[in-house]
Structure formats: structure tokens, C-alpha cells
A and B are shown apart, each in its own frame.
Chain A
Amino acid sequence: MDVILSGLATGFSVALDPFNLMLVLVGCFLGTLIGALPGLGPINGVAILLPIAYSLKFPPESALILLAGIYYGAEYGGRISSILLNVPGDASAVMTTLDGHPMALRGEAGRALSTSAVASFIGGTIAVVLMTLFGPLLASVAVGFSPANYVALMVFAFASLASLVGKSTVKTLLGALIGLMLATIGIDANTGVARYTFGIPDLLAGIDFLIVVVGLFGMAELLHLVEQQVKGNLKSLPVDKTFVKVADIVKLRWTILRSSLIGFVIGVLPGTGASVASAVAYGTEKRLAGPEGSKTFGTGDIRGLAAPESANNAAAGGAMVPMLTLGIPGSGTTAILLGALLMFNVQPGPLLFTQKPEIAWGLVASMYIGNVALLVINLPLVGLFARLLTIPQHYLTPLIAILAFIGIYTIVGNPHDLFLITALGVFGWFLRKLDFSLAPVILGFVLGSLFENNLRRALSISGGDWAILTEDLTSIVLYILAFLVVFAPIWLSRRARRAAAA
């Protein structure tokens, strides 16, 4: 407990520094804006703005605080376009449209927006509190992890990724493998041998993380927008004067609490983020509501609005836990944040809390502040954000390209990379079109060297004996968990089908 309190004190002294405090607010504001724009989600927003944030040459904790603010701000803002336009900002806001939009149609847009803002705030805060309590604990366990344990942890991470993300397990796995293969390009750090560089000097250091991120997420998203180009203007419903009542929140307290816990746990699972969490929370609430609920859910039931909103914000916080304590990101967006830390030469992992407390705890403290700031920004300013929803796509699309070009050029300073991000954008668009999700690719890319190095180190310790991988209890437990996370859903759905047939 002492560790946590002194850590929090360090964290708040970093986060309350006027400059960092300003960055939290700017990040939250920008994030809400990005999340509110239809079609742009947290992952694209962070991807497009990462290079710019990096080139401003802030200290690492400040840059991370800014990016994290954008991340959970966008998670927060996604609900605005879901409720008012029925167009989700990204996958995690899809569930919000189901009951949020019907409420707005009924003339309760203000109530829907403010209720979801409070639900998001509670979900986010519960997640940060849990993160404060369990983060250092997990870190202290993970300090003792051997390379073989890390290999098992990676297997578990990719297993839960394959099982829970995307439509097809095989495609998700293949996406992660593509990412891992991309990560092998460049000089092998252990032996100095060049791999897959084909004699091109630019490739010796490997493909730049920023280029992969901006290409796969920023430029591919841009092509997606061009493809989906909406004809005519989207009509946004007006924000009316209805507002959340205390009685609403009291009535929703168990829904919000349950959904926040579900969201946090799913967020902590490596690889699975807010989109899975909001879907599971929505499904759970609907089932708990019973036959009466299956009639009202989907027609503007306020529970169906609060559940996914508290869950996706809790998941955004939860996904930070494995990223900070194990160095294994809990979602696609945290994979990008992890890459950002690596660019600052900060290696996230169990030692981060003790060696770089200003970064780890500063981030945690900034999340407390960010949550409050988001609530304060969102309740009165929701009308402003709602007006931004109608920014036409024909200005948004070139804006993304211009921002991406600025970001890449200012960091790399090489016009060839501008071609490379465009080409990667085309590749990413194809992947997306074929139902591959892109988050596994970036996760594979970020984790590639960590996975490989731990495997090689483990086998060096054992002198080449593969048995070391399954020698101790921690590894075995992780392999069992990996097995369960893949096969339990299959088994459960079979059982449900059999029950339905009987």
C-alpha cells in the first residue's frame, strides 16, 4: 500500500505540472474530437498524431500523457457520433448505436449523451483505481519471469488475440504472423546478420515502426473513407435539453459496475480491447434483463446504452495494465503506445514502475485527471462536438493525408517514406477489405523482437533443449490458459447450440 501511495504522489507531481496538465487537457479535447468524427476511431487518431507528438521533442512522460489523453478521449468521444448519427466512430462504439440512437430519435439525445458520459466516467475511473491497485502487484510478480515464462506469456497473448478478435481465428493469427514477419526485417541484434534487407541500406535498421503504424492505420483508413464516401451530408440529430437524472444513475449502478468490471478484465487480456468488451457487456446485460429486456434492448433501453459505454472506457484503462507491467499491450491502440515508448528508448516491463516511476505513475495519475477532465469537457461542450460531426468527408479525407505526411516527413525527413506509407495504406486497405483485422498485425510487429529474443535466450539457458519451455509451473499455467481461451468459446457455443436444438 505504501508503494502505491508514494507512487501516486510521484505520479500526481508529474501530472499536475502545469505543462503536463495542459497536455492532458489538450489530449482529451483532441481525442474527443477525433472520436466524435464519424469513421475515425482511437487507433487511427493515435496513429496519425503519434509522429507529430514525437517530433515535438517532449520528454517521454509528457508525450505519453498526451497520447494516452487522445486515446481515452477518443474512446469517450465515439459515443457522440453513435448516438446522434447512428455511425459508430470505430468498432468499440458499435454497441452504443443500438440503444443510443433510438433514444436520440425519441427526443432524448441530451439524456443519452449525458448518461453515457457519466457511465464512461465511472467505467474509466473504476479501471484506473483497479490499475493503481493491481498494476504494481502484477509488476512485482512479473519481475521474476524467466525468458521461458515470457515465451509462454506471448503464446497466451496470441491465443487470446486469435480467439477473441476478428471474425476468423485463422485470419487473425495470419495477421499476427504477418506482423511478426515484418519485424524480422533488418539486422539481427544478437549476431549482426542482416535479414531480408536485400542490400537496401534503408532497411538495415528494420522498417520504422511509425511508418507501419501511419501506413496501416492512417492511410488505410483514408482509403476506407474514400471507398465508403457518403453521398450527401449526414444528418445529425439535434442535442436537446433533456439531461441525465440522479435517479437514472442510481437505477443503473449495478449495470455500470458489472460492465466496468467486465470491461476491465477483458481489457487486461492481451490483445483484446474495447470492442470485445463493449459487446460482451451489452450481451451480458441483455441476458440479465430476461425476456422483458429482450423486448426493450435495441429500442432505446438506457441500460443498453450505459453497459457498452462503461465497458469500453474500462477496457481502455485495463489495456494499459499489461502494457505497462509486462510490456505486452492489451489492445491495438496500446500496441501503438508501446511502440511510442520504445521510440523514446523506454522499455515497458515489470521494472518500469520502479525504474521510471515518473512515466508509469505519471501516466496513471494523468488518467485520473483525464477522466475528470473528460466529464467536465463533455457535459457542457457536447453541443460543440456535435456540430463538428457534420464536417464533410471531402475535407476530412485530405486532412488525414496532410497530417500523416507532416508527421512522417518531420521525423524521417525522407520523401521515400511518403511513398512507403501510401503503399502500406493500400496493403492495409486490402487486408481490411478481406476481413483481416489490423490490430493483430501491429501487435505482432511490436512484439516480434521481444518474442524472438526471449525464445532464443530461453534456449541458450537450456543449451538447446526445448523442454525448458514447459518446465516450470508459471509456463504450464499460461499454456493451459492459452488452450482454454481458444477452446472454451468453441465448446460453449457448441453446447449452446445443442441446448437450443434440444
Chain B
Amino acid sequence: MADRLFAGFLLIVTLAYAYIAWTIIQAPFQYDPLGPESWPRILAGAAVPCILYILWRPDDEPFAVAKYTWFRLALMVALLFAYAELYEPLGFIISTILFGTIVALTLGAPRSGALAFGIGMGVFGYLLCVTLMGLNLPDGEIVEAALQILQGGSE
């Protein structure tokens, strides 16, 4: 069943891909026998029979994921999106401390361990990457603003 659904989804995508290859992609002029549209057409032509085969004969293995596991996966994806969203505004240190601690907690780490892990990753990760390896990580808009206020205050 899951196989059929996924194959159906791929079929739609592939047909859209083929439609674009046959109608939209065109070179204004070309000397070569094969233009930019030929290769996508060949690929779509090869993919459609494969998809039809899966629709015709899907694997009958059930797509076994427990309800609770779905919840855990959805939570993880949500946390990842939140981490990505806050990466620049909060900066590497704060966002990583939050992400590391929360993920470790939700996956069942003890409280003190999760907090130590989060802070360790955030602070030492930043020091290791930025000072030692010279990588470019976000300082964070909030942190920069706070630093400016602090510096402004001391002047």
C-alpha cells in the first residue's frame, strides 16, 4: 500500500517532469542533435515503466511505524525546523544549547546530562569551530545587539 502511494506520488512528479521536458525546455538555437530537452525526456521515459511496475506489483511489506514513533519523528522534524529557523537570529551558541538539551531530553536522557550536553556542544562546539578551525558560524543577531548595548553602556 505504502509502495503504491509513493509510486503514485512519483508518477505525478515524473509526469510533470516529462510535461516540462516536452513543452517548456527549449534552446533558442542549437547545432547539436540533442538539445537540453532530450536527456530529461529519456529519463522520464525510463522512469515511467519502473513506476508502473511498482504500481502493478508493490512489495507487500506493511509500512509498520507505531503511532508513538510517528509522533517522535514528527517532533524531531519540528525541532530540526525550529533549529534551522533560529540558527541565525539566536546564533550558534544559544540555538545549539536549546536544541541539544531539548532533543536529548525528548530522547530520554537524564536532565542534568542533557543540559551538560547542550551547553557543552554550544560553547565548546563554537570555540572549537570558530577559534581553532576558523569556520564561519552565526554569532546571532540578538547576541550582537546585546553586546552592542553592553559596550555602549561601558563607554
Q: Which residues of A contact B (CB under 8 A)?
A: 52, 55-56, 168, 170-171, 173-174, 177-178, 180-181, 184, 188, 190-191, 193, 195-196, 219, 222-223, 226-227, 229, 392-395, 397-399, 401-402, 405-406, 409-410, 413, 415, 418-419, 422, 425-426, 429-430, 433-435, 452, 455-456, 459-460, 463-464
A459 in contact with B26 (CB, 8 Å)? no
Q: Considering the complex of A and B, which 4 residue pairs feature the smallest CB-CB distances, nearest first?
A: A464-B33, A418-B84, A394-B107, A188-B36
Residues of chain B with a CB closer than 8 A to A426's CB: 77
Is the pair B137, A410 in contact by a Cβ cutoff of 8 Å? yes
Residue from the list A171, A229, A398, A459 in contact with B99, Cβ < 8 A: A398
A177:B43 contact, CB within 8 angstroms: yes
Known pairs A223-B77, A397-B107. 18 more at Cβ < 8 A? Answer: A170-B50, A170-B53, A170-B54, A174-B50, A181-B17, A181-B44, A188-B27, A191-B30, A196-B20, A397-B76, A398-B99, A405-B83, A409-B136, A418-B83, A434-B2, A459-B33, A460-B33, A464-B33
* Chain B residues within an 8 Å CB radius of A401: 80, 83, 99, 103
Interface size class of B (residues with CB under 8 A): 35 or more
| Chain B residues with CB below 8 A from A463, complex form | 33
Whether A402 pairs with B121 at a CB distance below 8 angstroms is yes
Residues on A with beta carbons closer than 8 Å to the beta carbon of B104: 394-395, 398
CB distance from B13 to the nearest CB of A (A): 9
**Residue-wise interface mask of B (112-138) relative to A, using a CB-CB cutoff of 8 A (1 in contact, 0 not):** 011001000100010001000111111
28 contacts between A and B (CB under 8 A): A168-B59, A170-B50, A173-B50, A174-B10, A181-B43, A184-B39, A188-B36, A190-B36, A193-B28, A193-B35, A195-B36, A196-B20, A226-B107, A398-B107, A401-B103, A402-B121, A406-B92, A406-B129, A409-B138, A418-B87, A419-B81, A422-B81, A426-B77, A435-B61, A455-B34, A456-B32, A460-B32, A464-B33
Using Cβ atoms and an 8 Å threshold, which residues of chain A touch B129?
406, 410
Q: Report which of A174, A398, A418 forms a contact with B54, defined as CB distance below 8 A.
A: A174
Chain B residues contacting A219 (CB-CB under 8 Å) are 80
Indicate if the CB atoms of A415 and B87 lie closer than 8 Å.
yes
* Chain B residue, CB-CB nearest to A397: B107
List of A residues within 8 angstroms of B109 by Cβ: 392, 394-395
- Pick from B10, B46, B135: contact of A55, CB under 8 Å: B135
**List of A residues within 8 angstroms of B96 by Cβ:** 402
Instruction: Find the residue from A195, A223, A399, A460 having the highest chain B CB count within 10 A.
Output: A195
User: Are A184's CB and B33's CB within 8 A?
Assistant: no
Are A434 and B3 in contact (CB-based, < 8 A)?
A: yes
Residues of B within 8 A of A433 (CB): 2, 63, 65
Nearest chain A residue, comparing its CB with the CB of B51: A174
The docked-state distance in angstroms from the alpha carbon of A401 to that of B50 is 34
Q: Does B140 contact A (CB under 8 A)?
A: no
**Given A170-B53, A401-B83, also A422-B32 (CB < 8 A):** no
Q: Report if B47 contacts A (CB, 8 A).
A: yes
Given A170-B53, A395-B109, decide whether A226 and B61 contact each other with a Cβ distance below 8 A.
Answer: no
Asked, given contacts A55-B135, A168-B59, A434-B2, whether A402 binds B125 with beta carbons under 8 Å apart, the answer is yes
Closest to A457 in B: B32
Of residues 35 through 75 on chain B, the ones whose CB sits less than 8 Å from some CB of chain A are: 35-36, 38-40, 43-44, 46-47, 50-51, 53-54, 59, 61, 63, 65, 69, 72-73
Q: C-beta contact mask, B73-97 vs A, less than 8 Å → 1, else 0?
A: 1001100110111011000100010
A399 to B27, CA, bound (A): 46
A190 to B136, CA, bound (A): 35
Check if B43 sits within 8 Å of A184, measured CB to CB: yes
Q: How far is the CB of B33 from chain A (nearest CB, A)?
A: 3
Q: Tell me if B153 is interfacial: C-beta within 8 Å of chain A.
A: no
Per-position binary interface string of chain B over residues 1-34, scored 1 when its CB falls under 8 Å from any chain A CB and 0 otherwise: 0110010001000100100100001111011111
CB proximity of A184 to chain B, nearest CB, Å: 5
A191→B137 contact, CB < 8 A = no
B99 touches A455 (CB 8 A): no
Q: Which residue of B lies closest to A464 (CB)?
A: B33
Q: How far is the CA of A195 from the CA of B88 in the complex (A)?
A: 31
A438 → B minimal CB distance (Å): 15
Residue of A whose beta carbon sits closest to that of B69: A227
Residues of chain B within 8 A (CB-CB) of A171 are 54
Nearest opposing residue in chain A for B87, CB measure: A415
Q: Are B17 and A196 in contact (CB under 8 A)?
A: yes
- CB distance B80 to A193 under 8 Å? no
Q: Looking at the assembled complex, report how far the CB atom of A54 sits from the nearest CB atom of chain B, in whole angstroms.
A: 11
B108 within 8 A of A: yes
A415 to chain B, nearest CB (A): 5
Q: Which residues of B contact A229 (CB under 8 A)?
A: 72, 107-108
Q: Select one of B32, B77, B84 contacting A415, CB under 8 A.
A: B84
A464–B38 alpha-carbon span in the complex (Å): 12
Q: How far is the CA of A455 from the CA of B34 in the complex (A)?
A: 9
B50 touches A393 (CB 8 A): no
A402 touches B99 (CB 8 A): yes
* CB <8 Å contact, B65 and A227: yes
A178 surroundings in chain B (CB, below 8 A): 10, 47
Q: Which residues of B contact A402 (CB under 8 A)?
A: 96, 99-100, 121, 125
Q: Are B26 and A193 in contact (CB under 8 A)?
A: yes
Q: A181 near B53 (CB under 8 angstroms)?
A: no
If A170-B50, A195-B36, A227-B69 touch, whether A435 touches B59 (CB-CB below 8 Å) is: yes
